[in-house]
Amino acid sequence: MLKQVSIYAENVKGKMLEITDVLMENNVNILGSVTNDSAEYGIVRMIVDNPSKAIEALTKKGIICKMTDVIGVEVKDEVGNLNRLLKALHDANINVDYLYLSFNRESGCPIMVLHTADAKEVENSLSAKGFALC
């Protein structure tokens, strides 16, 4: 299971720079990220190499954030692999709240990061179906 850093950020000029400055100053590497925004605020979701350190550093700067369990599934960069993953989840009656892409620097394969209601159950289901979990 992966730990995701979810950052609540006001939708203003320079906010993302402020976030990445804090992470850089604390030697935290961003491995994957997605941003969902609205008119007033956004949620920046990140996989980082040290989530506890990231949370501590961001919180000290007054940035609201939390840690969330997510699932990382290694998928080869081939046509149809995301579809196969989503079909396996659908067949197991598992809803995916959101997903985004990261990258396994060791294997060279993309990692699909998923958020679901019950991460442990989903990990067990995917593992039983032969998917490589991170």
For 70-77, what is the mean pLDDT? Answer: 92
Together in a domain, 88 and 55: no
Together in a domain, 107 and 61: no
Q: What is the pLDDT of residue 77?
A: 85
Q: What is the pLDDT of residue 122?
A: 92
How long is the chain?
134
Together in a domain, 41 and 18: yes
SS3 55: helix
Range of the domain at 52: 2-68
Distance CA 54, CA 91 (A): 36
Q: How confident is the model at residue 134 (pLDDT cuts 50, 70, 90)?
A: confident
The structural domain count of the chain equals 2
For 36-56, what is the mean pLDDT? Answer: 91
Domain endpoint, select from 27, 47, 68: 68
Tokens matching residue 83: 């579809």
Whose CA is closest to 5, among 126, 113, 123? 113
Share of the chain above pLDDT 90, in %: 77
Q: How confident is the model at residue 109 (pLDDT cuts 50, 70, 90)?
A: confident
Q: Answer whether residue 39 shows pLDDT above 80.
A: no
Q: How confident is the model at residue 106 (pLDDT cuts 50, 70, 90)?
A: confident
